[in-house]
Amino acid sequence: MNAISALLRRELTLAMRRRGDALTALFFFVIVASLFPLGVGPDPKLLHLMGGGVVWVAALLAAMLSLGRLFAADHADGTLEQLILTPTSPVVWIAGKILAHWLVSGVPLILMAPVLGIQFGLSGAELAVLMWSLLLGTPALSLIGAIGAALTLGLRGGGVLVSLLVLPLYVPVLIFGAGAVDGAISGLGSEAHLSLLGGILILAFMLTPWAVAAALRISIE
């Protein structure tokens, strides 16, 4: 527990000192979502139907873009090797790092999402479902993406490569996340989608830290 809180403090301090990084991903999110009405036209009905999906796709891309920051800086200055050498199980500090990454990159997306949802004409209840789905979905995105980030550490073209590795794995999260909002819009209800999202999150939380630990060992050695 001590190790995790120390690591969290360190990660958050570093993130506070490089606020620009998190803000860039956040503005990317806003810009991508704002481009869709320009592309498909300003029809409010159409935008209302598309809103949940568009915000979700934009959130997914923004989450993917910020994956590079997860391990790259620590890899470059040798911190990662020191972390691997510590007696703490890698699964523990990897979970801590992913949590910190989500706090910095995922939570701002959740807080910004209602603003974008209003642009697409979502109602209050629909906005609430959107936020719930993002609250359950973005940690899963961080967890799954961490595998890709760990495998592509230090590779040329790592950024493009990570998208090829990670985006297919994001498909279920996208389907249930956007599906929850769709369910709220169409009146079918969104509990089933949210439950499935929660299931994915639990599964990802149980399995991915082990996979990331294995991936880091492969990339570092």
Partner 1 sequence: MSGFNLYKYSSPATFYVLAGRLIPWFYAAAALLGAAGLYVSFFLAPTDFQQGEAYRIIFIHVPAAWMSMFIYLAMAGWAALGLAFNTRLSFMMASALAPTGAMLTFVSLWTGALWGKPTWGAWWVWDARLTSELILFFLYLGFMALQAAIDDPRRADRAGALIALVGVVNVPIIYFSVKWWNTLHQGASVSLNTAPSMAAVMLAGMLVMALAVWMYAIAAALSRVRCIILERERNSQWVAQMLGAEPHPHPNLPLEGEGTNVEGI
The count of residues in the chain is 221
Residue 193 Cβ vs partner 1, minimum distance, rounded to whole Å: 9
Nearer to partner 1, 114 or 145 (CB): 145
Nearer to partner 1, 50 or 104 (CB): 50
**How far is the C-alpha of 177 from the C-alpha of 56, rounded, in Å?**
7
Nearer to partner 1, 33 or 178 (CB): 178
Residue 77, number of CB atoms within 10 A of its CB: 10
Whether 120 and 47 have beta carbons less than 8 Å apart is answered as yes
Nearer to partner 1, 138 or 190 (CB): 190
Residue 169 Cβ vs partner 1, minimum distance, rounded to whole Å: 5
- Binding footprint of partner 1 on the chain (CB under 8 A): 147, 151-152, 155-158, 161, 164-165, 167-169, 171-172, 175-176, 179, 182-183, 188, 196, 200, 207, 211, 214-215, 218-219, 221
Q: What tokens appear for 113 in the block?
A: 């999402």
Q: Sign (positive/negative) of CA torsion 210, 26, 157, 160? A: positive
Residue 211 Cβ vs partner 1, minimum distance, rounded to whole Å: 6
Q: What tokens appear for 184 in the block?
A: 């709220």
| Mutual angle of helices 158-186 and 124-151, in 10-degree steps | 160
Residue 148 Cβ vs partner 1, minimum distance, rounded to whole Å: 8
Nearer to partner 1, 127 or 150 (CB): 150
| Residue 200, φ and ψ in degrees, nearest 5 | -60, -40
Residue 115 Cβ vs partner 1, minimum distance, rounded to whole Å: 27
